[in-house]
Structure 1
Amino acid sequence: MEKWLIKNIKFDYDEMVKSCHVDPVTARLLVNRGIVDYKRVNEFINATLSDFNNALHMKDLNKGVLLIKNHIDSNKSILIVGDYDVDGVISSYLLYKALTRCGANVNYHIPDRIKEGYGINESIIRKAHEDKVDLIITCDNGIAAIDQVDLANELGISVIITDHHDIPFVEENGERKFIVPKAKAVINPKQSDCDYSFKSLCGAGVVYKFIEELYKQYNISNEETIELLQYVAIATVCDVVDLIDENRIIVKTGLELLNNTKNIGLKALFEETEVKDKKITVYTLGFVLGPSINASGRLEQAFWALELLLTEDENKAKELAKKLNELNKERQELTKEGFEKAISIIENENMSSDKVLVVYLESVHESIAGIVAGRIREKYNLPTIVLTKTHEGAKGSGRSIEEYNMFEELLKCKDLLGKFGGHPMAAGMSIPVENIDEFRKRLNSECSLTAEDITPKIRIDLALPIKGINYELIDRIYLLEPYGKGNSKPLFGVKKLKVLEGRILGKNSNVLKLKLTDGRLVIEGVYFGDIKSFEEEIIGHYGEDEYNKLLNGRPNSVFLDLTYFPEINEYMGNKKIQLVISNYRISQ
């Protein structure tokens, strides 16, 4: 059973309304997102590119720019080493485009997920040495490549690291000592001695700051630099970093550029994924385009996605876009199969009392273990780790809930694991197959989660009756876009709305449209969730006769409490307000 909670932060809202010239609803939404400083209120609502931080405040950035400029001007060989996810592909694309624009002798390499694994490795460095590469620049990886950078130094290859992941550490006598590779420049705002104030850029965001200064060295116009933000926006959304401060400006500006993009590959992908002529939004990036870009690195080669972005050939673009979309469909099918197998194991192998789910799916593709773990976490609201068989043992990914710091809990089991890393909400690991049962037992025996902790919580911004909704309010709420992690989409709650009528729509019968009233006003609501569960809940409480009355628009006794987001629905030139329903429950 879900627990509905209304956020109730003590604050002088009247003073914010008066001082910042915002309405009471917006004031509460801002405070709920931690924006309480009046100067930040103005910056949040009216954020522009002029609010970007100075790139030169990032440790080693200027050193790295001057080093790479020296290599470009001397026509020395440069190799970009990226990662196979969206952030890595976009970062590699940005660096390749920028360095080529500056006249560099540059090539790129994105490791094969299965054969080479994540990040720069010894074989890449030795191959670079054979190819007489003078400098390697990493993107979206490298901060943990201590031994690899030492090898590069031994072989006379300079290394610049651009990364955004947490700084690695070793524990000595219970204390953590943070270590970084001995590269020529280590550009990562998460370093404790880095003065760059915003620490939550994705890998492509760090690369963009690097390019800002590199382009200045070559007198390339700021307009050309800004054009790159459309790509940074894709990576920022898909890497699920907080959409606050600079990230919010990046995505807001990037979406405007994407809706008018000239990139041949992106336009082909828009067409292939059927978003051409539709407004490109955060949802489009996170749930349509991003997964297609990601699928190439998951199931085959991330190289295909990079080639799509780089190509100037329309026919090749169409061919690659089709390939990526088909790979994504295959990935979706594999995920569905993996999820169903995992549920079967959980339900049939006595895991019902576990508070940390560890599922070994021997045959699932290792690239989708994290996605399957995420789906299971959503179903049970429990920390979940999905492991799969590899030629070296088992490998997997975990997804957590807010109340459980997965990385800290894995530290308690490090004697059972091979390599592992991550953060409170997600982690990756390798483990000998024979250690899996003990790993599961120990995680659960050490687990301190309570019944309250694992109860799903719906956090509502504020109660808002339908009489309080109007076009002006919706326009003001839209000023808080783009929404995402760290700047969640506002969620409102309303109690005891009478259901006048319900209709099930969509080719898969997966949309529920409701006509609702508070006794005076009538408003429409739309729900995209589990329609079967809705039917079962209404019948279970009110009976089948009342449910049939609801579907036929006849007088019935159904009352619902709802959480929702108000939006303007425009169809055939007609505008009207509707509620996009997130959750429902039977009114008491």
Structure 2
Amino acid sequence: MKSKWLVYAKKADFKAIEQKYGIDQVIARIMRNRDVCTDEEMQMYLNGSIDGLHAPELLKDAQKAVDILTEKIAQHKKIRIIGDYDIDGICSITILYKALKKAGVDVDYVVPHRITDGYGINEHLIDNAAAEGKDTILTCDNGIAAIPQIQYAKEHGLTVIVTDHHDIPFTEENGEKKLLTSCADAIVDPKQPDCEYPFDKICGAVVAYKVMQILYEKLGLDKTDFKEYTELAAIATVGDVVDLKDENRVIVRQGLAWIATTKNTGLRALIEACELDAAHLSAYHIGFIIGPCLNASGRLDTAQRAIELLLCTEPGKAHEMAQELRELNEERKNMTDTEAKKAIEMVEGTDLYEDNVLAVYLPECHESVAGIIAGRLREHFYKPSIVITDAADGAKGSGRSIEGYNMFEEITKCKELLTKFGGHPMAAGLSLPTENIDLFRAKLNRQQTLTEKELTPVTWIDVPMPVSYASKKLVEQLRVLEPFGKGNEKPVFADRKLTVRSANMIGKNKNVLKMQLEDTQGHVVDAIQFKVEEEDMPLRGKEISIVYYPDINEFRGNQTLQFIVQEWCYTT
């Protein structure tokens, strides 16, 4: 779908910022476009360090949770961690398990099975914990919405500590939201309205990380362990697609740097199995290669395998496990491609195409890839998308949203049709009886208020910048903006009235467009665009406008500027 090009117009004294921080004004403009405004924010953005992260004690109930844990440690009580089966849950469990083991705790962990258990803590897991003599349940990346389940655990004499980062569940009464809460002994979640923590967009692994910081301080444990915990928190932050702003960006930047020399045997084995260079990992490698391999275990088998890899200390065994995860991810990718193609064809070939909110029923699709397929639908049609599959008990769905549509709140309005649901504004999961699928789809579309403007993707241009201004020096400075991701997107530039001197399709699959472009001053540059159909190739001699990112291409030891084209159109 063609996007609308808009230019950021946020104001600041860019010359003063350039002089104060020694950066190009282009860099200053990009920072301002990411809402980095104050001196404190700029210092954190450019020079933030792990030592400068927000104090964990500001998290509501974090100190209370640690007080409970230290009391349980003194009493030699058994603690069970219950996490989630995605990358955030996997890393959260690993951080908590390693840290509590270092504290001398009698601790183990359980990760729910996606198919048989579903998301989060449940009565079955609680019964098992009680039967096996556990005194305390510690949740991570789940628990905030498990109100009846936690009540059940308390009735069975268990202490429950919740660490989570998801939105607080609510009901609506007379058009007003009423937040719900459980009877857990401590609830650590920055989304709580009375929590003083200054940044509520951290992932579950970072919440766990923060609680363990307080525990380590209280018990006087060796804080060098937090180098490895930071690596895991960085992986979870990227993998859970939370905003790379504020301290998230610092954690990811430092975590990526430390992964280069990681002492985590399993992580090192997975990097090698994926044929990556640990010294040059980016957020892209975590989000699209390492993360999916860890996630694949929870999708097609059990996330236990990924956790065991991250806890493994024997290199030979770790390499074997890492290779198995990579192969599992290849299986997952093939399955996803097949089902995504089917879903797109279903929308294009039925009255679903007229819906502003897509709810696609793929009964035979493996429920573990429903969220990925929903993401593909969202990208293809630029509409909020939910993919529903048959499950052991009824049906399950996973959704991905667009800006302007709070999926969690909209699904909440349909709660009478659902048996279980939860999530964020941009993503959600749900369960429902199969006979309610059509009713659910109809109600979602009846209550939606999306406009044509909201259903049109927008490409925000950071700086309209002539290609002649780009230089190797500027490209090097752009790297200070990394890591890129949600909330700190890779910068986007634009130039117009560029004459196409040559245009050819290259690459093994003939889907890479290589061009030579000339600006109005006679400046000729090399440009390249990936994943292009041959019919989308511009005509030689025509003038085009491009959205691009400047990069350095290295070939046989020679470095040259190359412009990565994101979109183009004929100049009007």
Q: Cα deviation per residue 1:218-265 (whole Å; 9 max; x = unaligned)? A: 322333223321111000000011111110110010000111212221
Tell me, yes or no, if the aligned pair for 2:364 and 2:389 is still in contact at 8 Å.
yes
Which whole-Å CA distance do the structure 1 matches of 2:49 and 2:442 have between them? 51
After superposing the two structures, state which structure 1 stretch, 436-445 or 560-569, moved more.
436-445
Aligned-partner SS, 2:206: helix
Q: Which has the higher contact order (CA 8 A, sep 6+)?
A: 2
Specify the alignment match of 2:323 in structure 1: 322
Q: Which amino acid aligns with 1:465?
A: P
Q: Which residue of 1 aligns with 2:545?
A: 561
Q: Which moved more, 1:568-577 or 1:118-127?
A: 568-577
Query: Which deviates more from structure 2 when the two are superposed, residues 396-405 or residues 169-178?
Result: 169-178
Structure 1 residues 175-224: Cα deviation after superposition (integer angstroms, max 9, x where no partner): 22222222222111111121111211101101111111212233223332
Alpha-carbon distance between aligned partners in 1 of 2:570 and 2:525, rounded to the nearest angstrom: 18
1:124-523 mapped onto 2 (5 Å cutoff): 124-276=125-277, 279-518=280-519, 519-523=521-525
Structure 1 contact 16–38 (Cα < 8 Å) conserved? no
Partner of 2:89: 88
Q: Which moved more, 1:17-26 or 1:266-275?
A: 17-26
1:546-557 to 2 correspondences below 5 Å: 556-557=540-541
Instruction: Please give the alpha-carbon distance, in whole angstroms, between the structure 2 residues aligned to 1:292 and 1:377.
Output: 23
Q: Residue 546 of structure 1 aligns with which residue?
A: none
Counterpart CA distance in 2 for 1:93 and 1:223 is 16
SS at match of 1:156: coil
In structure 1, the gaps of 5 or more residues are 543-555
Shift of 1:56: 1.3
Using the TM superposition, name which of 320-329 and 12-21 deviates more: 12-21
Offset of residue 79 of structure 1: 0.7
Corresponding residue for residue 98 of structure 2: 97
Distance 1:353 1:455 in 2: 15
> Partner residue of 1:537?
536
TM superposition shift of 1:11: 4.0
Letter in 2 for 1:527: Q
Q: Where does the alignment leave 5 or more consecutive residues of structure 2 unmatched?
A: none
Give the distance between the partners of 1:100 and 1:410, measured in 2 at CA: 40
| 1:47 CA drift (Å) | 1.1
Q: Is the 8 A contact 2:513 2:537 kept in 1?
A: no
Residue 370 of structure 1: CA displacement?
1.0
Q: How many aligned residue pairs are there?
A: 570
| C-alpha spacing 1:153/1:353, structure 2 compared with 1 (3 Å) | closer
* Paired letter, 1:255: L
Aligned equivalent of 2:530: 528
The SS at the match of 1:459 is: strand
Change (3 A) 1:21 1:81: same
- Tell me the amino acid that sits aligned with residue 402 of structure 2: I
Q: Residues 571 and 69 (structure 1 numbering): CA distance in 2 closer, same or farther, change over 3 Å?
A: farther
With over 3 angstroms needed to count, the CA separation of the structure-2 counterparts of 1:40 and 1:278, relative to structure 1, is closer
- Is residue 512–residue 529 contact of structure 2 (8 Å, CA) maintained in 1? yes
Contact 2:227 2:258 in 1 (8 A): no
After TM superposition, give the deviation of residue 421 of structure 1 in Å.
2.4
Rounded Cα–Cα distance in structure 1 between residues aligned with 2:279 and 2:546 = 29
Kindly state the Cα deviation for residue 16 of structure 1 after the two structures are TM-superposed: 4.0
Distance apart, 1:564 and its partner CA: 1.1
Shift of 1:134: 1.2
C-alpha distance in 1 between matches for 2:278 and 2:231: 17
- Paired position in structure 2 for 1:585: 569
Distance in 1 of aligned mates of 2:229 and 2:457: 39
Q: Quick check: 5-14 or 318-327, which moved more?
A: 5-14
The one-letter code matched in structure 1 to 2:340 is F
What is the one-letter code of the residue matched to 1:525?
Answer: A
Give, in whole Å, the separation in 2 of the partners of 1:320 and 1:258: 19
Per the TM alignment, residue 19 of structure 1 is displaced from its structure 2 partner at its CA by 5.4
| CA-CA distance at 1:464 after TM superposition | 0.5
Give the C-alpha shift of residue 117 in structure 1.
Answer: 0.7
- Could you say what secondary structure the match of 1:452 adopts? coil
Conserved? CA contact 1:211–1:225, under 8 Å: no
- What SS does structure 2 have at the residue aligned with 1:415? helix
State TM-score, norm by structure 1: 0.93
Helix, strand or coil for the counterpart of 2:57?
helix
What does residue 60 of structure 1 align with? Answer: 61
Could you tell me how far 1:39 is from its partner in structure 2? 3.0
In 2, Cα distance between equivalents of 1:435 and 1:414? 11
1:123-146 superposed Cα distances (whole Å, 9 cap, x missing partner): 111111111111111111111122
Matched, 1:6 2:1: no
Query: For each residue in 1:414-443, what CA deviation from the matched residue of structure 2 results, as whole angstroms up to 9, or x when unmatched?
Result: 333332222322222222222222322332
Q: Per-residue deviation at 1:340?
A: 1.4
TM-score between the two structures when normalised by the length of structure 2: 0.95
* TM-superposed deviation, 1:463: 0.4
1:101 to partner: Cα distance: 1.2
Alpha-carbon spacing, 1:341–1:580, altered in 2? closer, same or farther (3 Å)? same
Deviation (angstroms), 1:2 = 2.3
Distance 1:76 1:417, change over 3 A: closer
Shift of 1:24: 2.0
CA–CA separation in structure 2 for the residues paired with 1:580 and 1:275: 22
How far is 1:18 from its partner? 5.0
Q: CA deviation at 1:8?
A: 1.5
Counterpart-to-counterpart distance in 2, 1:49 and 1:435: 48
